[in-house]
């Protein structure tokens, strides 16, 4: 399940579809806008004004016709989050809303689904895998959301267009590793990316 089909969800969806993941859930309630296209590479100018779920479906079906796609053109709420999350094996969080991040984390903890969470701001990004039995959840790192307006979103604070592409690709990497059962996941580790210095650091 990919929640958010913007800068992070775009490359994640493309790479997961191209890799042959048999089923993808796509959840987003927004529409394609021209001012987002520098980072939301799943969409193009033909989709302006269309629901992101419709635009994404068209692109991904063209890439992999054998793909089974579920689209959710809805807002994630306390009433629907657990039911949607429970139907998938792994969840990718590509949102820029703290409300949705905490809601998605809680649903993944309760439904025992791993959560590949990424965030970006200006020239920096973070990535980890949360909500697994052997690791922390998002609330372990951030016990409470910041006050409203304290942290600007991408539209307010800006973001280097390629940065969500980088983090979204890393999210797809973690998802594929988890599905296939290879490598060492980011459970219990936080990867921090500084694009200006081109520096990758991790902390436990």
- 5-19 residue pLDDT tens: 999 999 999 999 999
Per-residue confidence band for 145, with pLDDT thresholds at 50, 70 and 90 = confident
DSSP string across 62-80: HH-TT-EEEEE-S---TTT
Tell me: pLDDT of 31 over 70: yes
- Give CA–CA dist 201/188, Å, rounded: 14
How far CA 173 is from CA of 2, 12, 35, 116, in Å, comes to 14, 8, 27, 10
Task: Count Cα neighbours of 16 within 13 Å in the Cβ-side half-sphere.
Answer: 35
- Give CA–CA dist 126/119, Å, rounded: 5
* Arithmetic mean of pLDDT, 46-55: 97
Looking at every residue in the chain, the average pLDDT score rounds to 95
* Arithmetic mean of pLDDT, 23-49: 96
- Give CA–CA dist 179/38, Å, rounded: 30
Tell me: pLDDT of 161 over 80: yes
* Arithmetic mean of pLDDT, 124-153: 89
- Give tens-digit pLDDT for 65-114: 999 999 999 999 999 999 999 999 999 999 988 999 999 999 999 999 99
């Amino acid at each position: 399940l990919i929640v958010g089909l913007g800068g992070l969800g775009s490359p994640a969806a493309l790479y997961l579809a191209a890799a042959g993941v048999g089923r993808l859930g796509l959840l987003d309630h927004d529409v394609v806008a021209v001012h987002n296209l520098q980072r939301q590479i799943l969409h193009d100018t033909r989709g302006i004004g269309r629901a992101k779920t419709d635009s994404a479906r068209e692109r991904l079906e063209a890439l992999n016709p054998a793909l089974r796609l579920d689209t959710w053109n809805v807002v994630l709420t306390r009433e629907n989050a657990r039911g949607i999350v429970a139907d998938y094996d792994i969840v990718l969080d590509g949102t820029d809303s703290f409300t949705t991040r905490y809601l998605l984390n809680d649903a993944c903890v309760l439904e025992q689904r791993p959560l590949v969470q990424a965030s970006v701001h200006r020239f920096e990004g973070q990535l980890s895998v949360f909500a697994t039995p052997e690791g922390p959840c998002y609330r372990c790192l951030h016990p409470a959301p910041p006050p409203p307006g304290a942290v600007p979103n991408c539209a307010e604070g800006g973001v280097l267009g390629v940065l969500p592409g980088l983090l979204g690709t890393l999210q797809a990497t973690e998802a594929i590793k988890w599905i296939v059962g290879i490598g060492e996941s980011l459970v219990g580790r936080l990867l921090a990316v500084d694009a200006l210095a081109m520096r990758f650091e991790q902390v436990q």
